[in-house]
Amino acid sequence: MNFELMAPCHFGIETVLKREIYDLGYEIKKVEDGHVFYEADEDGIVVSNLCLRTAERVLIVTGRFCAKTYEEFFQGMKNIPWEKYLPSDAAFWVTKATSVKSRLYSTTDLQRVGKRAMVARMQGIYHMDRFPETGSDYPVRIFIYKDQVTVTIDTSGDALHKRGYRKETGKAPISETIAAALIMLTPWKADRILADPFCGSGTIPIEAALIAANIAPGLYRHFAAEGWTNLIDKKLWTDERKWLREAVDTDVDTRIYGSDIDPDMIRIANENARRAGVKKLISFKRLEAGDFRMKDPYGFIITNPPYGERLSEKDELPELYSKLFEAYRRLDKWSLFVITAWEDATRCLGGKPSKNRKIYNGMLKTYFYQYMGPKPPKVTSDGKN
């Protein structure tokens, strides 16, 4: 069976997610703010959950309709062929409803009416007054924009940024999906040096190591759709995981560094890297950002420094960012990539960046400043530059 799938992501990284989906071999239908729509079969649901690094979830689109009243919403929900997706013992509920610029805006009412409509439809199909809901979970997510309703079932369960390796974090951790997107927005490859002098709990270096070692981000976690045997053969999950494990290469020759001034963060980063299976690929060290040094050329700094969320920290930011820039200037032919919500950051980072991209971390608008260094010379077949 073919499905229309919707992959939500953080605003600003749609192009990265689109490229990921395209590289997996699936046809992109359309791209909207924070969403990529594409078509795939059952195997595509499995592969998407296991392999997408920048998506937040993988959702099956079950229906679309216009609703300006709760009666129209009820009828639209009831008209969806839920029997195609939900067995009679399914545990189903509207886990989340979002509404923007629409007449229907009460999320609790949308959840309540949505569930009631689903029950009404299934009662007529299965000829049951009550449903045991003892089977697998089928969480429903509803999106309404300008009275246009999109109804989906969540195949992922826990959000895809929950890889399973990050048990402890720092004060303002960057999400795994954003960290992966930042890396994928740069020209970095496993044979180039990558350093994060504000590594915190290690998310950016760990995501880089997962990419370098070809470790699928969802390889070691569970998904809601694994219990959907009415739609997806369990063998698809088993086979895909087997192939992905065989593709892992933790002996890859790569140089990834993480440093932080806080020794507790270095301890946490090492533990997170160990759980992710990439500890031997990353060197973590306690170090002030301004003290970072390396002789080798053509490396990358990709980092998420403090933004000054607390008023008391704002005064420290100019010195902090200036030290980062001075450390960067000492490096030979390196590139610098900084994500921050501090709008005056470029004054301390050497002026106008080569590129600047807005990325929304939840409701927080951040800027991904990109200072591009020169490309390394090409190596010819005889090993000469």
Whole-number Å distance between alpha carbons of 167 and 268: 8
Using CA atoms, how far residue 89 sits from 2, 116, 133, 169, 188, in Å, is: 23, 16, 5, 38, 48
Which CATH number is correct for 176-214+248-371, 2.30.130.60, 3.90.380.10, 3.60.10.10, 3.40.50.150?
A: 3.40.50.150
Q: What is the pLDDT of residues 22-50, one digit of tens each?
A: 999 999 999 999 999 999 999 999 999 99
Task: Express each pLDDT in 232-263 by its tens digit.
Answer: 999 999 999 999 999 999 999 999 999 999 99
* Class of domain 3-154 as given by CATH: alpha beta
Average pLDDT over residues 306-332: 86
Residue 169 has pLDDT above 80, yes or no: no
Q: 122-137, pLDDT tens digit by residue?
A: 999 999 999 999 999 9
Domain boundaries, the chain: 3-154, 176-214+248-371
43 and 236 in contact (C-beta within 8 Å)?
yes
Question: What pTM was estimated for this model as a whole?
Answer: 0.95
pLDDT in tens, 47-76: 999 999 999 999 999 999 999 999 999 999
Q: What is the pLDDT of residue 186?
A: 97
pLDDT in tens, 185-223: 999 999 999 999 999 999 999 999 999 999 999 999 999
Runs of H (alpha helix) within the chain: 14-23, 42-51, 70-78, 107-126, 176-184, 203-212, 234-247, 263-276, 311-314, 317-330, 345-348
Confidence tier at 173 by pLDDT (50, 70, 90): confident
